[in-house]
Structure 1
Amino acid sequence: MDISKYIDYTLLTPVSTERNIIDLCYTAKKNGFYAVCINSSYVLLAKQLLEESNTKVCSVIGFPFGSMATASKVYEAKQAISDGADEIDMVINIGFLKSRNYVSVLKDISDVKLAIGDKILKVIIEVSELNKNEIIKACEICLDANVDYIKTSSGFSKSGATLTVVKIIKKTVKDHIKICASDGIKNIETAKKYIDIGVSRISASTEFKQKRVTQK
């Protein structure tokens, strides 16, 4: 199995420098990773660095807490696409979800989806902050919004993906939405477990850098 084709190579720390992004893109290109996932301020740089490769550029939006106004998310998403982003990862408004303000959660996602046209939208639902019923509801809203992926975690909360949570998501969305497992996936063996239960993308940090990612 070629794990590299599942990897979103991710660097989202607030202290990431231009040199860090250059190194990230070089490693992603060398290993044939599917995408790099970065903050929107570095999209232009990453797009230039990856211009002659198959590696996509993914930008996070409303990151990391998702609690800003929908109009702000829409503006940031449009700017990221204009700068060259191929995919958008947005964080839902977790407070709205917990308030059971489901109409606002749906509008938040749908407005971003509309703004980016045919570009891929992954919606980060931050599973460590939600109970099972809230995870299911978030997935149902994502179905209504016709998103492309549900992503488990931002990497900035208490914990990330678990096999149990991914199975709950998969049972809810079936094959209608793909799944990106994120946070804490540090080796090939763990990544393969998620792929085996139906995950289509793995968000992996630079801890993957020195590891062999292609396994027969």
Structure 2
Amino acid sequence: MDRTELAPMIDHTVLGPETTPSDVDRVLEEAAEYGTNACIPPCYLEHVPDEGDVTVATVIGFPHGQHATKAKLQEAVLAWQAGADELDAVCNVGRLKAGEDEAVADELSELVAAVPIPVKVILETPLLSDAEIRRACETALEADAAMVKTATGFADGVGSEKRRANDSAASGGATVSDVELMSEYLPVKASGGIGTYEEAMAMIDAGAERIGASSGTEILEGAPESDP
């Protein structure tokens, strides 16, 4: 896959706790230059140029998904009104692990219904067993979400058997096996620990249709150049 084909599949991302306005401006400029999308914190949506063709995503309930449902809904509506093109919403992992699948699905359904733009559901797969990932995907499917996303990249997962057994998951990142499983249900955004063209292509080969990465430009620099 060459740079032209890959670029629109990448969400060039800056979401760390120390993200500054200048960081966001840089990512938006790089996204425009390279032809990627951008994923930025909701407080910086005002930095998105009024005239531009970059698809901009922001996050809802980030990073743990434990906001009150009303707060998530208000955050989603405000983000859409501020110009976001897509929303990446964190599901409530604790409720999922407690078996409260209906509550998780209800909250996600309300989020999807609250805005006229695509909602991707962040599952935080490094914290979940395969059975829990399937249940999370089923709730996202029931809620009519546009995509499921692997992770925020900020999960610590202390005590998780899965993370102890899988080095990639232990770093909070996406794994090929998780992407393969998730793609049985909905389009997948692979996010967390993807920093090279080879890593991105492994996720795409596994079924990912979008890549979330703070190294979006580096990934594209490693891709074959487009034909003239």
TM-score (norm 2): 0.87
1:43 to 2:56 alignment: no
1:140-188 deviation line (CA, Å, top 9, x unaligned): 11111111000000011141210011111123x1xxx210000111011
1:128 corresponds to which residue?
126
SS in 1 for 2:43: helix
1:181 corresponds to which residue?
190
2:12 corresponds to which residue?
9
Structure 2 counterpart of 1:44, which letter?
A: E
SS in 2 for 1:4: helix
1:31-61 deviation line (CA, Å, top 9, x unaligned): 000x211111011212x2xx44321110100
Residue segments in structure 2 that go unaligned for 5+ positions in a row: 157-171
1:19 to 2:22 alignment: yes
Structure 1 counterpart of 2:55, which letter?
A: K
1:145 aligned to 122, 127, 143, which one?
143
2:102 corresponds to which residue?
103
Distance 1:89 1:178 in 2: 13
SS in 2 for 1:200: strand
TM-score (norm 1): 0.91
Cα offset, 1:195, TM superposition: 1.1
Distance 1:55 1:121 in 2: 17
**RMSD, aligned CA:** 1.3
Structure 1 counterpart of 2:76, which letter?
A: A
Instruction: Decide which moves more: 152-161 or 61-70.
Output: 152-161
1:209 to 2:220 alignment: no
Structure 1 counterpart of 2:177, which letter?
A: T
1:113 corresponds to which residue?
112
Residue segments in structure 1 that go unaligned for 5+ positions in a row: none
Cα offset, 1:215, TM superposition: 2.1
Alignment of 1:50-89 (within 5 A): 51-89=50-88
Identity of aligned residues (%): 35
Distance 2:81 2:201 in 1: 34
Cα offset, 1:77, TM superposition: 0.3
Structure 1 counterpart of 2:98, which letter?
A: S
Cα offset, 1:210, TM superposition: 4.4
Would you say how many aligned residue pairs link Structure 1 and Structure 2? 206
Cα offset, 1:120, TM superposition: 0.8
Distance 1:6 1:32 in 2: 9
